[in-house]
Amino acid sequence: MKNYYLLFLLISNVIFAQSNSDIALIKANNAIALMDDGKIEESIKILEECKELDPENYMYPYEIAYAHVLKKEYKTALNILKATKKYKTINSQVYQMAGNCYSYLGKSERAIKEYEEGMKRFPKAGNLHLEKGNVYLAQENYDEAIKNYKMGIEVAPMFSSNYFRLAKLYLNSNNKLAGLLYGELFMNIERTTHRTQEISTLLYNTYKSSISLGENESEIDFCD
């Protein structure tokens, strides 16, 4: 009887733990819906409850940090993300958001350091190379931006945003041929989004402006 009693307690504990996790997930979905409706304070309150119910899940503090980002409370978000990094199950988005917070605060060098720290933990994170490239793009340091976008493609070939950035950069340069290639690659990876429509229009306009057909002479001008 004693063994059955211990087994009953063990099963009860497992069921209870699973129940807490399920409840937290349901409440979190409601919280995110509230956040999308602009009810950020209500959302934070519910996410705090989720964090108590399922303290091992990093997504709840991550979403709380994101709520503070929406409120432009970047320092508060950074404090939360700093603690979130201690979770073993986090992904590269934690470092991405932290770096973005530093960018919003005007601390571009600290943002780059944050992305690079994340790259050490997540070497295949194309999103971190993207964000590092975006910092250089904002500084109009196009060579460094391009370098980082290309590195992002190297480590994560199916992450489409680096192709998107390269396509736009090159299509607005003297090397439109590279822009056409990156644009076509992007559209093969990411389909039926507003960005796909944007790149499709850019490609069409580039072909139209770069190819001139005449009766006696034709000209193609994609690059120097």
The model's pLDDT over 175-224, given as tens digits with 9 standing for 90+, comes to: 999 999 999 999 999 999 999 999 999 999 999 887 777 677 777 777 77
- Residue 73: count other Cβ atoms within 10 Å of its Cβ: 16
Q: What is the largest distance, in Å, between two alpha-carbon atoms of the chain?
A: 100
The Cα 87–Cα 199 span in angstroms is 38
pLDDT at 1 over 80: no
DSSP state of 214: -
Q: What is residue 220's three-state secondary structure? A: strand
Pairing of the two strands 219-220 and 211-212:
antiparallel
Residues 20-28 have a mean pLDDT of: 90
Does residue 128 contact residue 114 with C-beta atoms inside 8 Å? no
Does an H or E element contain 219, and which? strand 219-220
CA atoms within 13 A on the CB side of 204: 6
At 210 the pLDDT is: 77
Beta bridge partners of 175: 223
Look at residues 115, 54, 65 and name the one whose alpha carbon lies nearest to residue 89.
54
At 156 the pLDDT is: 98
Predicted model pTM: 0.85
Q: What is the pLDDT of residues 46-86, one digit of tens each?
A: 999 999 999 999 999 999 999 999 999 999 999 999 999 99
Tell me how far the alpha carbon of residue 181 is from its chain's centroid: 23
Does an H or E element contain 211, and which? strand 211-212
